Structure 1
C-alpha cells in the first residue's frame, strides 16, 4: 500500500465508528463492533467492523470481515466498496474529503521528449545506473579498461531501445539491447547529449547490429569528459581511445569528441594552455587533428600530437599492455607533464 494510503487508513481507523456511521448507515453498533449486512450497506449482521484495538490478539480498529463471503480489509477498502469507487486515487480523494483533508493535485504527466533531443539524452542517462557489476563494466574490462566504476560520465542501461535499419537482418535485430551510456557535456558541465554503445548480452563485445554506436543530442563542440580541464587537457575521437590513455594518465583531464568531425569542432576551455591530441591512424583522424592543431596554436595554446603504434590507443593497450603504452606516451609528453600526470613516473 502506498505511503499516503497507509497514513489515511490509520487516520480512518482512529475514527472507525464515525466512518461506519457515515458510510454504513443501515448498520448499528454492538459492543466493540459495527454490524451491517455487507459492504454495500445492506441491512443485516454478516459484516462486522472492529471499532477499537483489541490488544495483542484482539485485532486492529478499522479491520472488517464479511462472514458470508469471506471478504475483509481496512476502512479504505470499505469506503471503495460502499461508494463503488474503482480506482485508488478516487478512494483516497473520498477518504481525504471525509477527514476534511485537502485534495492532492494529480501528478503532472511528463510529456515525451523529442527524439534525439538533449532532453531525451538527459532522461536516458538519468534512467541508467552506475556501471559497477554490470555488462558495461564487463565490456570495458574486455577492452583492457578497468578502474572506471565511479566515473560519473559512464552508466549502464539494461534495455536501451535500438532502431535497426536495412543493414540489420530481421532475425538479428532486437527492440532493445544492454548499453553503455556516456554523458556528453559542454564546457560548463551541462549535459547536452548522450552516446550509446549497444552490447552483446555476454558483455564481451558490442551488439551484433549494423551501428552499435550512436550519439544523440547537441554534440557540436562538446564531448564525453573525464575530469575537469583547466590548463592542460587531452582530446581525441573515441571513448575507448581516451579511456586507454587515462589508464596511464589517470589525472590528466580528457575529452572524447566521438568523431573526427566533432573533434575538429571541439570547443576549448578559455584557461587552456597546453593541449594533447590523440590521433587515430586514418585520413579522417589526421585531418581532424590538423584542424584543431591550427586552431589551438592560433589561440596561443601549446599543442602536442600523440600517436599510437597501431590504429588507436585502445589497440595499443590491448596488444602491448599499460606499461608499454606508458613508455610510448612518455616520449610524446612535455617534460613537466611526465612528472605531473604519467602514472608510471608518479608511482616510481
Structure 2
C-alpha cells in the first residue's frame, strides 16, 4: 500500500507525544501540549504541539505553531524543519524510518510544505508593526517598572518603548480567566546592520511594580538568531548578556559601554559579533544554562581572535546584585574582571 504525505502525517499525529520526545527532546509536556522554544529544539515555550484532539480540522492532534515566528503545520512539516530538510522525499523517508515502515521511492522535488522564510518574513513585519505602534518610554508604566528594578530609564529611553495594552495569548497553565491584554515594554531585536528583525515583550502588572501575573511574562517574536536588543553602537568593545534588566544594570555602571541583550541563554550562545570587535565582556547568569551559554559565546569569540572577559557576581544576577549592593559597590566587586583600559568607562550614572 502506498502511503501519501497526509497518511504519514496522520500516523505521526497518532503518536504525537512520542514524536515530540524524539525530535524535540528539550521540550516538555504541559497538559494537552508539548512546549519547546523553536524548531531548533531550543528550550522554551514558544512552539506548542497539540498532543490530543480530533483527527482533522481545528485543534487537530499533531498540529503545531510557533507563536514567535508564525510557523505552523502538521508533524510531517515539523520533522522536516527540525532536521533541516529541503526535499519532501527526505522527510517522507525519515517519517517512514521512524514509524518502522518499508522505504518508498523518494520525491526529488523541493518540499512545498516547508516555507520557513515566508513565515519568518511575516513575523518580522509583525514585530516591526508592534514596535511602531508602541509609545516612547518616558512617563509610562514601563519607566516605573525599570525604576522599581533600580534601573535608570534614561539609558533605555532611546531604545525601549511602551504599549499600554499588548496582546497576550494565555498558555494552558494560565488560569482560565487570564486577561489577554497587559501593559508591556517593547524592545526591538536588530541584526548587526541595525535592521529590526524581531521584538521582545515584557508584560507588566497594572501598576508597573513588577511583571504581569501570567505564566510567561516575557516573549519574543520575529527572527531572533544572532540578533539582540542593542544599546549603543559597538565597534571595538561590547558587553553582552541575556536579559534586558541584566544589560541595563551594566549600562548604569558604564553608560558609554555598548551593550546587547540576547534575551535567552540559547540566543546568547549564538549571538553574532561585529567584525571590528576586539574585546567582549560576557555577563554570566548564575545558573547552568547561563554559564554554558556564556562559555559557548566566549569560545566562539576567542576563536575569532576577540579577547573575552566574564563579568560575574557568582551568586546573584547583575540586577539583583545592583539592588542589593548599589552601583559603586558593584563596580568595586567587578573591578578585577574589567580590562585596565576600560576602567574609565565604569563611572556609575549619578
> Normalising by the residue count of structure 2, what TM-score does the alignment of the two structures yield?
0.64
* Alignment RMSD (CA, Å): 1.8
Structure 1 gap segments, 5+ residues each: 1-112
Partner Cα separation in structure 2 for residue 227 and residue 313 of structure 1 = 19
CA offset digits 1:1-50 (Å, max 9, x no partner): xxxxxxxxxxxxxxxxxxxxxxxxxxxxxxxxxxxxxxxxxxxxxxxxxx
For 1:271 and 1:138, how far apart are their aligned partners in 2?
Answer: 36
Aligned with 1:285 (options 290, 293, 301): 290
SS at match of 2:135: coil
Kindly indicate whether the alpha-carbon contact (under 8 Å) linking 2:237 and 2:279 is maintained by their aligned counterparts in 1: yes
Q: What is the CA-CA distance between 1:148 and the residue it aligns to?
A: 2.2
- Relative distance call for 1:147 and 1:168 in structure 2 (3 A) is closer
Partner of 1:10: none
Compared CA separation, residues 261 and 335, structure 1 to 2 (3 A)? same
1:133 maps onto 2:139 in alignment:
yes
In structure 2, C-alpha distance between the alignment counterparts of 1:150 and 1:267, rounded to whole Å: 22
Q: Which residue of 1 aligns with 2:171?
A: 165
Indicate the SS of the match to 1:178. Answer: strand
1:234 aligns with 2:239: yes
CA shift for structure 1 position 149: 6.5
Deviations 1:91-150 (A, max 9, x none): xxxxxxxxxxxxxxxxxxxxxx98970100000000001111100000000000114266
Larger Rg computed on CA atoms: 1
Question: Which one scores higher on RCO, CA 8 angstroms, separation ≥ 6?
Answer: 2
Report the TM-score, using the length of structure 1 for normalisation: 0.64
Select which of 298, 302, 306 maps to 1:297.
302
CA distance in 2, matches of 1:302, 1:150: 27
Q: Secondary structure at the match of 1:305?
A: strand
> Which blocks of at least 5 consecutive residues in structure 2 are unaligned?
1-118
Give the length in aligned residue pairs: 232
After TM superposition, the runs of 4+ consecutive aligned structure 1 residues lying more than 6 A away are: 113-116
1:260-318 deviations in Å (ceiling 9; x for gaps): 00000000000000000000001001111111111111110000011024331001011
CA contact (8 A) 1:225 1:254 kept: yes
Say if 1:114 and 1:120, in contact at 8 Å, map to a contact too: no
- Alpha-carbon distance in structure 2 between the residues aligned to 1:316 and 1:212: 22
Structure 1 CA distance for aligned equivalents of residues 316 and 197 of structure 2: 29
